[in-house]
Amino acid sequence: MTLMLARADYFPSDAMPVAVADRAPQPSFPPHRHEFYEIVIVWRGNGLHVLNDRPWPVTCGDIFYIKDSDCHSYESVNDLVLDNIIYCPERFKLGLDWSQLLPMDDPHHRAYWRLTTRGMALARNVIAQLEQESCKTDLLSLQLTEALFLQLALILRRYRYAVDQAWQLPEGEQLDLLMAAIQADGENPFDLALFCQHNHLSERALKQLFRQQTGMTISHYLRQLQLCRAKYLLRASDCLIGQVAARCGFDDSNYFSVVFTRETGMTPSAWRQQFEHAGRVLVHHS
């Protein structure tokens, strides 16, 4: 049985539609579902977010829209700081078409986005107000909470971008540009020098900025991404180990096995075997 988080434990009253659960830090947290929806905004640090059996390495600027039917957990956290904006759609009173802004019951909604630096600054501001207002229980506070939540949902909608659609990015968002480029093509090794040359950026400054904002080096992050991709393919596909290695950007499958074993403490096939009895989950190639 997966853990189920109850509304009564997280909202101040039965009428309150939104609450802020700040996690500074977010510790490791076992797989769970909720009697509510959740928007996760990552401010700092890094960790592994497993959403419906799919691992995502997370760091600052990542946002996730979690539905009540979703199951997720946090592992290998390292100074991970995030806010959970939790909400119950049936409690909304404004009568808006929220489905333009939030996943609601769309089964194909995209759960993972990134927020630009500007978007993060604006969101931070609204969340601070939301946090105060959503603790109170009088009628005006309920209404103001919903209005602030609407404002937040609009800001996220405007400033979020999908990592595979970098052209959506406003100019000058260097870290965002880098993240998008890194994640756009998981199969080819990422060439930082080339990226910097194309975008007229200083490699040294970018490395420093990345480290400052995420608490890890670019190569550490690249390795994490490769390993997440490998774990996902091992679990969800029937690819041979050599194919998995190639699809994660390793030329040499022996070297892939060495790295995988060093980082996870298990060989790729042992890792795969753990899930053998559970059957394969559905693969969506992305």
State the residues that interact with ligand RM4 by CB under 6 A.
Answer: 5, 10, 21, 23, 26, 29, 34, 38, 84, 86
Cβ closer to ligand RM4: 23 or 44? 23
Cβ closer to ligand RM4: 81 or 156? 81
- CB of residue 86 vs ligand RM4: minimum separation in angstroms? 6
- CB of residue 230 vs ligand RM4: minimum separation in angstroms? 25
- CB of residue 40 vs ligand RM4: minimum separation in angstroms? 7
What is d(CA 86, CA 3) in angstroms, rounded to the nearest whole number? 17
- CB of residue 111 vs ligand RM4: minimum separation in angstroms? 13
Cβ closer to ligand RM4: 66 or 177? 66
The H or E element that residue 187 is part of is none
- CB of residue 286 vs ligand RM4: minimum separation in angstroms? 23
How far CA 145 is from CA of 40, 110, 155, 244, in Å, comes to: 18, 25, 15, 47
Convert 134-172 to b/e letters by CB count within 10 Å (16 or more is b): beeeeeebbebbbebbbbbbebbeebbbebeebeebeee
What is the identity of the amino acid at 255?
Answer: Y
Cβ closer to ligand RM4: 39 or 115? 39
What is d(CA 10, CA 16) in angstroms, rounded to the nearest whole number? 10
Q: Which residue is nearest to ligand RM4 (CB)?
A: 21
What is d(CA 278, CA 271) in angstroms, rounded to the nearest whole number? 13
Cβ closer to ligand RM4: 86 or 244? 86
Nearest to 59 by CA among 247, 167, 209: 209
211 close to 44: Cβ distance less than 8 angstroms: no
Nearest to 42 by CA among 145, 130, 114, 92: 114
- CB of residue 134 vs ligand RM4: minimum separation in angstroms? 13
DSSP 117: H
DSSP 104: T
User: Given the DSSP bridges, would you call strands 37-51 and 62-66 parallel, antiparallel or unpaired?
Assistant: antiparallel
Cβ closer to ligand RM4: 33 or 247? 33
- CB of residue 232 vs ligand RM4: minimum separation in angstroms? 20
- CB of residue 29 vs ligand RM4: minimum separation in angstroms? 5
Cβ closer to ligand RM4: 42 or 120? 42
Cβ closer to ligand RM4: 5 or 150? 5
